[in-house]
Copies of this chain bind each other. A is one copy, B any other.
Amino acid sequence: MSEKRTEISELGEFALIDHLNESIKIKNASTLKGIGDDAAVIDSGETVKVVTTDLLLEGVHFDLSYAPLHHVGFKAVAVNVSDVAAMNAIPKQITVSIALSNRFSVEAVDALYAGINAAAEHYGVDVIGGDTTASHSGLVISITAIGEAKKEQISYRSGAKVNDIVCVTGDLGAALVGLQILEREKQVFIANPDMKPQLENFTYVTGRQLKPDARMDIIHEMRDLEIVPSSMIDISDGLASELFHICKSSGVGVTIYEDKLPIDKQTFDTAVELGLDPITCVLNGGEDYELLFTIDQKDYEKLEKHPDIHFIGHVTNAEEGKYLVTKSGTTAQLKAQGWKHF
């Protein structure tokens, strides 16, 4: 039709998404929040439903040469549950659509579904529908998750306030480092199929890449403690990138401290072995599926002793910018590279 051809790469992925979203208008009163957070929020009487979806393609999001189908199924559910968690909601239902080529046997499909069902069991969600279809190329998985919360329990990206404390769960960088190890051993195997992959010293980091766990445990604990984070996001693209999202949505700045950033020993050692800077892995490694959130200072003492929540900094005025205070005490401007551009 049009004479003009603009390459997607000229625009960039984020700009393309922004461009497409510009044309979207909200018409229904029940749509409380559309695009722009970890999940959409729709009115549901006393409660709200949150809705999130992910589309995963073989060769883009997972590599079956090292990812077992059981793990692929589990992870496909976990990444959606993580988005529901990031809204401070409880996941209840998922739909699962898959496209399969005839390369897959019934036993392979069973392994995939065993992982999906194990995750559904683990997170207490029901598989309520989906679509199963043929594919001429690889495996495609599309999952939509629906969660529930009271309206006042929802944590948007936009609620961070100056002086709030910045928290992260678990440890960071492991999934990226694990991916590098899996890719390295794959190349070794391709070069010499008689070589057995050396993975025994890397079980934590590879496990974090292959079978991440959404932090529903933290959501339930905070509910018990009657804490509603002022803002929250899950860490799928890297800590720095997610901090940028919260700062942009909330209209605030942030200062975080290098010595507070949580990193596992195996992640640190493996990063060094791979010639990567561990702190860069923590800041820009993706797919950890930990939670990044902010709390009001009054909630601090309720969480202070929590073994798996780390207080990494505080929220500032937007004009103060986004900074990392290094171990040596110098201050560096945060950059949101995102793990894809790593």
Contact = CB atoms under 8 A, between A and B. Distances in A.
Interface string A1-29: 11011111111010011011001111110
B97 A54 contact: yes
A98 B13 CA distance: 12
Given A44-B44, A92-B42, A136-B137, A55 B105 contact: no
A45 B42 contact: no
A61 interface: yes
A100 interface: yes
A95 B146 CA distance: 12
A203 interface: no
Contact of A99 (B55, B102, B124): B55
Given A106-B19, A136-B137, A52 B129 contact: yes
A35 interface: yes
30 contacts: A1-B107, A2-B107, A6-B105, A7-B102, A7-B106, A11-B106, A16-B132, A23-B114, A24-B120, A24-B127, A27-B124, A27-B125, A33-B128, A34-B127, A34-B129, A35-B128, A40-B95, A44-B47, A51-B129, A53-B129, A55-B131, A57-B133, A57-B136, A60-B133, A60-B136, A61-B133, A97-B142, A99-B140, A140-B140, A144-B144
Contact of A45 (B1, B45, B110): B45
A199 interface: no
Contacts of A45: 44-47
Name the interface size band of chain A.
Answer: 35 or more
Interface in A41-79: 42, 44-47, 49, 51-55, 57, 59-61
B51 A109 contact: no
A243 to B, nearest CB: 22
Interface string A88-113: 00001101011110101111011101
Given A8-B102, A51-B129, A60-B133, 8 more contacts: A1-B107, A2-B107, A30-B93, A34-B127, A40-B128, A44-B49, A53-B97, A54-B131
A34 to B, nearest CB: 4
A92 B28 CA distance: 7
B7 A136 contact: no
A155 to B, nearest CB: 17
